[in-house]
Amino acid sequence: MLLHTEALEGGFASPVLGAQATFRALLDAMARPGTIRTAGGDAAPPHPLSIAQGAVALTLTDHDTPVWLSPALAHETVKGWVGFHTGAEIVASSAHARFVFLAAGEAIPDLHGFAPGSQDYPDRSATLVIELPALSGGPEFVARGPGIKDSTKIALQGLPADFLRRWAANRAFFPLGLDIVFTAGSDLMALPRSTDLQALGG
Amino acid sequence: MNTHETELATYNFAYLDEQTKRMIRRAILKAIAIPGYQVPFASREMPMPYGWGTGGVQVTAAVIGPEDTLKVIDQGADDTTNAVSIRAFFQKVANVAVTTKTREATVIQTRHRIPEEQLTEGQVLVYQVPIPEPLRFLEPRETETRKMHALEEYGLMHVKLYEDIARNGHIATTYAYPVKVEGRYVMDPSPIPKFDNPKMHMSEALQLFGAGREKRIYAIPPHTKVVSLDFEDHPFEVQKFAKPCALCGAHGVYLDEVILDDKGGRMFVCSDTDFCEERREAGHVGELGVANKEAAE
């Protein structure tokens, strides 16, 4: 297999500090659902992987975390980039993945197709990293739960119309369930399984 | 990778290798998503013995960055062996700024206390945990306690608290007092005095717990319900102290007993040294305290 040279470029210039800065953005985002943070470092992943998605991959994935790439992402350059920079195995079966990456504009597959963890080990669940057109300006939802003082509004753009219903099903699974990191360009927002989403006024 | 480019060989930033940090970081993120649930992690050997905060140190090492200011306390004090050596460790391996002031710190590693001053958004409190499993002394088998958590089967813990009442007339557990997080997981808050339990409830700060020997990480996100277990007719109560701090005169804070002589003389002083010092600098004086020089002159 011939690797495109772009698969070899675009990692963090400073892997230690880039990963630390991105982790702090993720830590903050996960601890305060609904807040928008910017990925740290200077990741420059190949299209269509976004900057934030690339930074998350560099920060959290390695040979211990099978990665599933959506159809739009699963081409040689992205596979090569993830493989070269993180050492993560790209798996064909979504149920075996610990990290899942979806490109902008792609349909979000059935959430039941990803690992929700087990009753004994709910932490062994997948984290979805989903690229959206924007993290604000979309239809408003009210979010409640740990990390949120009273309630907060989120307005993600580009979610499927039935997302609330699908998220409610995931939420009902607690403590099992998927955690999502939404990304847009270099920004990210987290939606842990503990967050309750309602339509505005609902 | 370190800021000292002139040195030939040095530790990785914050001591741990990057693969270890990634593993710990993944565990922390899952811990936040499932508040109160103990996430297993591949705890490493650290250059200090188990029981000296290896879990807290690993969590701090995975979280801390060059921009952070670190505070380390041991039973509330900034100047005891454990606190001093961990602070020096991170100065050496991460070259971070350190402080003893609670409000200046972005990351606070603690052994068995929560600072008196209210923590704020943007601060991370890292607890050192000896035994993370609240059910361990009731059920020694990990396979069983794991199942009990999965089934939310916490009756045994209430039986234990009930037996306390039956024997002593009140709940005699005074530290590591079990809490329920967000109505789901029963969690060991580490051996903090139960006096500190209410501070965990709806805290502004993110709270992370690391148990090195037992290889567990768990978390309480900000604004999360943390309820101490109790009974309707025996509600949870915190310790009360008869007298204020002998040095700074503070009421409503957690006090340590200090033996003064071999004739039964003793005094009670703030366990949070930073809080006490700040009050004394501001001119507050307790019954055994000495007014600070400026105020006296």
Is A31–B37 a contact, with Cβ atoms under 8 angstroms apart?
no
Peptide bond into A175 cis (omega under 30): yes
Tokens coding A71: 């159809």
Give the active site residue among B210, B248, B286, B289.
B248
C-alpha–C-alpha distance, residues B229 and B169, integer Å: 16
Please give the model's pTM, rounded to 2 decimal places: 0.95
Is A19–B19 a contact, with Cβ atoms under 8 angstroms apart?
no
Tokens coding B102: 């609670």
Please tell me the predicted confidence (pLDDT) of residue B297. 46
Look at residue A146 and tell me whether its pLDDT is greater than 90: yes
pLDDT in tens, A56-77: 999 999 999 999 999 999 999 9
B264 tagged catalytic:
no
Average pLDDT over residues A107-122: 96
Q: Which one of B15, B25, B119 makes the best mutation probe of the A interface by having the most chain A beta carbons within 10 Å?
A: B25
Please tell me the predicted confidence (pLDDT) of residue B9. 66
C-alpha–C-alpha distance, residues A106 and B88, integer Å: 50
Q: In what order do the strands lie in the sheet with B97-98?
A: B39-40, B216-220, B206-211, B124-128, B107-111, B69-74, B97-98
Please tell me the predicted confidence (pLDDT) of residue B292. 63
Please tell me the predicted confidence (pLDDT) of residue B100. 97
Contacts with A61 from chain B: Cβ below 8 Å: 22
CA end-to-end distance (rounded Å), chain A: 53
pLDDT in tens, A129-141: 999 999 999 999 9
Q: What is the pLDDT along chain B (297 residues), one digit of tens a residue?
A: 445 555 556 789 999 999 999 999 999 999 999 999 999 999 999 999 998 999 999 999 999 999 999 999 999 999 999 999 999 999 999 999 999 999 999 999 999 999 999 999 999 999 999 999 999 999 999 999 999 999 999 999 999 999 999 999 999 999 999 999 999 999 999 999 999 999 999 999 999 999 999 999 999 999 999 999 999 999 999 999 999 999 999 999 999 999 999 999 999 999 999 999 999 999 999 999 887 655 444
Virtual torsion, Cα B72, B76, B78, B83, nearest 10 deg: -50
Establish, for the pair of chains A and B, how many residue pairs have beta carbons separated by less than 8 Å: 109
